[in-house]
Amino acid sequence: MTRVRKLGRMPVCEDCGASGRFGSCEDLFHMLLALDHQRLAPWGPHHGLNVACYYLQHPSTAPPNTASGQWSLVEAYRAGGLESANQIERHRVARNRLNLFDADDATPAPARTRPSHLTIEHLSVDGSFPAEGYEQRMNQWVSAVLFERTTE
């Protein structure tokens, strides 16, 4: 469950700092997953990346030992775009089916060095995740997650 603190009437997310004006980050994440699982563009192809960005910004909700795997998806997207991230995800699914995947195989995720400035709340625009401009917003979210963990 996403940790929140109250600021006036709006619950502010303690993990990412989102205002909560469209609901909790967890609620938004479940709405996004519902869109992802329809496998329709533009949401479906970004499923693995959505999960990675969300968990990297919400470590209190992430399954244990997954940060490095999530980080490798974000790095793959930066280096080679969506197809590169999806290729890693497909490879992991195949290895999982054979019980060969080990999260320790991935590069460890660097610690967050800056607060989040763009979150799932921004990706949602108004809480509905409109298709128009989604890919651009997704690119911005990935860039924000990368920026949060750089030392430069």
Judge whether 80 lies within some domain: yes
Confidence of residue 89 (pLDDT cuts 50, 70, 90): confident
Q: Where are the beta strands (DSSP E) in 47-127?
A: none
Count, residues in the chain: 152
Confidence of residue 7 (pLDDT cuts 50, 70, 90): very low
Judge whether 16 lies within some domain: no
Tally of CA atoms within 13 A in the half-sphere of 88 that contains its CB: 26
The answer to whether residue 96 scores a pLDDT higher than 70 is: no
3-state secondary structure (DSSP) of residue 21: strand
Q: Encode pLDDT of 29-82 as tens digits.
A: 999 999 999 989 999 999 999 999 999 999 999 887 888 889 999 999 999 999
Tell me which of 34 and 9 has the higher pLDDT.
34
Task: Kindly provide the b/e burial profile for residues 82-100, where b requires at least 16 CB atoms within 10 angstroms of the residue's own CB.
Answer: beebbebbeebeeeeeeee
Specify the number of domains making up the chain.
1
3-state secondary structure (DSSP) of residue 8: coil
Provide the whole-model pTM: 0.86
pLDDT recorded at residue 103? 55
Judge whether 113 lies within some domain: yes
Judge whether 123 lies within some domain: yes
Q: Which domain holds residue 82?
A: 26-148
Cα separation of 93 and 113, whole Å? Answer: 30
